[in-house]
Structure 1
Amino acid sequence: MAFDRMDSATYLASLLAKNFSRALQERGHKLGFAPGQFPVLLELWSEEGLTQKQLIDRLDIEQATMANTLSRMERDGLVVRRRHPTDRRAQQIFLTERAREMESEAKEAAIAADQSLFSGFRRFERELMLEYMRMAIANSARE
């Protein structure tokens, strides 16, 4: 049986994720964040003071990956860690002023990256694709 990668949803999703990451990387680099840091920033813009474990659970990221991401974000001046007030083993993650100030520009960069990938799509086509992507993600979560 012949395998055409351009008929493979798995291959295409991987390629699309890589292209989105590249589009966001170009825009994010100018602001001072990497694509892998963006989901963490989104969570912290929504709710600061989360622990590493809470971020791992919310973003479904491996512990080692999250630890490395947070270390880089701390090094880059985007987050600070503080001892948790009631759990001595945990640390809470807070945004720096620099990270707080870049929120609107970072979200605009992500929207611009989206728009560049959806260039030429009619509105209903974009909405349909997003709905199909959500359905596929929901299906994969059930496995």
Structure 2
Amino acid sequence: MDEDVLSTPGHLISLAARGFARLSETRLKPLGFGVGQLPVLVALQDGKASTQRDLARFARVEQPPMAQMLARMERDGLIERTRDPADGRSSRIVLAKAARDGMPEAIAALFQGNEEALAGFTDAEAAQLVGLLKRLIDNLDQIANAESASSDC
């Protein structure tokens, strides 16, 4: 079988992801944000996470890189840490005023970029693409979890 490895879903999705990351970074940088910070910013804005552990889980990254990112975000004035009243060893993380104020413009820039990237797609095609990508991510998560569980044995 003579398949073109450059036409596989994995490769094409990787190219699309890199393209989206470049586009998003270009538009977010002038606003003081980085594309890698998005999951943290959204989780904090929506109240879905407030500890480093929760944020790492939400963003699907390991604790050490999350700690480094949070340290940079704190240095850049995007987040603030306070002692957790229930657990003195832990910190609660909240968006700083600068981040809260800049989020609406950042989100608008991201939505505009997505709209431009989907030029020529119908609303139904765009919705189908999102649905398919969510299913693909779920499949990949299941595979990773199964492989992680089998390597722990």
Q: Normalized against structure 2, the TM-score is what?
A: 0.86
RMSD: 1.6
Q: Which has the higher contact order (CA 8 A, sep 6+)?
A: 1
Unpaired runs of 5+ residues, structure 1, are none
Letter paired with 2:134: R
Say which SS state the counterpart of residue 89 (structure 2) adopts: coil
| Equivalent residues of 1:48, 1:95 under 8 A apart | no
| Equivalent residues of 2:24, 2:113 under 8 A apart | yes
Alignment partner, residue 32 of structure 1: 32
Alignment partner, residue 107 of structure 2: 107
Count of equivalent residues:
143
Q: How does 1:13-32 map to 2 (within 5 A)?
A: 13-32=13-32
Percent of counterpart pairs with the same letter?
A: 35
Which has the higher mean CA deviation after the structures are superposed, 35-44 or 66-75?
A: 66-75
How far residue 116 of structure 1 moved from its aligned partner, in angstroms, is 2.1
Alignment partner, residue 9 of structure 1: 9
Unpaired runs of 5+ residues, structure 2, are 144-153
Alignment partner, residue 126 of structure 2: 126
Runs of 4+ in 1 over 2 A off after TM superposition: none
Letter paired with 2:68: N
| Equivalent residues of 1:24, 1:113 under 8 A apart | yes
Which of 1 and 2 has greater Rg? Answer: 2
Letter paired with 1:94: V
CA distance in 2: counterparts of 1:27 and 1:5, whole angstroms: 31
Q: Normalized against structure 1, the TM-score is what?
A: 0.92
Which has the higher mean CA deviation after the structures are superposed, 48-57 or 71-80?
A: 48-57
| Equivalent residues of 1:49, 1:92 under 8 A apart | no
| Equivalent residues of 1:44, 1:95 under 8 A apart | yes
CA distance in 1: counterparts of 2:133 and 2:48, whole angstroms: 28
How far residue 106 of structure 1 moved from its aligned partner, in angstroms, is 1.2
CA shift digits 1:78-108 (9 cap, x unpaired): 0011111121221111111101101211110
